[in-house]
Amino acid sequence: MTAPALELRKTALNDLHRAMGGRMVEFGGWDMPVQYPAGTMAEHLRTRTHAGLFDVSHMGEIDVRGPDAIPFVNRLVSNDATKLVDGQAQYSALTTPEGTVIDDLLVYRLAEDHLLLIVNAGTTDKDWDWIKSHYQNDDVELRNASAEYCQIALQGPDAISILQKLTDVPLSEIKYYHFRYAPVDTVPSIISRTGYTGEDGFEVYAPPDKAEQLWKRILDAGNFGSDDGVLPCGLAARNTLRLEAGMCLYGHEIDENTTLLEANLGWIAKLNKTDFIGREALAKQKEAGIKRKLVGFEVTDRGIARDGQDVLIDGQRAGNVTSGSPAPFLKKNIGMAYVPVDFADAGQRIQIDVRGKLLAAEIVPLPFYKRAKN
């Protein structure tokens, strides 16, 4: 007998996604929209030029409270949580003793004794178990608070003007990677100037029972249905947008077999702070030098590189594609891959094995796309 299929988790917007024609797929144990009727290309381009709206409520939230909240978290993460001030967020990682990545995450400082950790959907349970296992009589209260939040991301150059219609807080005063507590359409929310698209924008955290209200009101405020209005976007556009922006995806560019230094994330490995799990291994690797490195590449032949395909240098297998797809805004076929550090310089010619056909490609600087600053 085959084992019964596990029932997929659903965000509070699941019914609305289906009513709007979202094509639903399994992702990290969740039933999520991969795209809407407009299609991935349109969703991607609308986010780059105007605004896209994303349901990211599948992400996990872990609440850490108590006098030891900051030192406890700082012992587990690679970045320096002691540098945070109230109302600030920080990109960081949970690392193994070997310096590899259990998960990448955001650390929000809500107060001196209160942090909120935003973790990936597919790793929430693993992260929760890891964090709990390192409790050492610390004066903290840990809670998996994932069910207490919906998370809606409004991204793109028009995001600030759209969201401003629904809140009295001056959004232009919120700096990048900072947040405010404020009502959005009367709903008590955390408004965070963060995102995963390479564009300016906001992520709104609110009670799940208010998710449909916020989703509909943001679409209304963004003139959904007009040629330059906001578009609801699925996982596919979220992936192509983050790839153009050169952002890592857990399970692809980073995992428990890759270190932060190999993944170009040495900037979040604060080796001069108090000890954290993996610090010693990362310090040794930094001193010895990495042997492989994450790079970006453009396909110069006709064809598309896809995740998992082999990378060849001088006819020899040298690595594999971690992420690959067309780049809708750049109108190129791009990807990221690990290659030996001696062959990681821009201009290096490589080949991608696409089902037995070798496509020519060239290593280029990351990120592929960087938005113009206002």
- Give CATH for domain 14-57+149-244: 3.30.1360.120
What's the whole-number mean pLDDT along residues 130-158? 97
Provide the token pair at 252: 């692809």
Cα separation, 296 vs 363, whole angstroms: 6
Give the residue extent of every domain in the chain: 14-57+149-244, 60-147, 291-374
CB atoms within 10 A of CB 103: 24
The pLDDT of residue 167 is 98
CB atoms within 10 A of CB 358: 15
Residues in a beta bridge with 57: none
Bond preceding residue 367 cis, omega within 30 of 0: yes
The pLDDT of residue 373 is 77
For 164-187, write each residue's pLDDT tens digit.
999 999 999 999 999 999 999 999
The pLDDT of residue 6 is 73
Nearest Cα residue to 141 out of 61, 62, 60, 59: 62
For 204-216, write each residue's pLDDT tens digit.
999 999 999 999 9
Q: Percent of the chain scored above 70 by pLDDT?
A: 98
For 328-346, write each residue's pLDDT tens digit.
999 999 999 999 999 999 9
For 218-230, write each residue's pLDDT tens digit.
999 999 999 999 9
Provide the token pair at 351: 């080949």
pTM of the model as a whole: 0.96
For 4-46, write each residue's pLDDT tens digit.
557 999 999 999 999 999 999 999 999 999 999 999 999 999 9
For 239-280, write each residue's pLDDT tens digit.
999 999 999 999 999 999 999 999 999 999 999 998 999 999
Are 298 and 362 in contact, with CB atoms under 8 Å apart? yes
| 291-374: in CATH 2.40.30.110 | yes
Q: Report, at the CATH architecture level, how domain 60-147 is classified.
A: 2-Layer Sandwich (3.30)
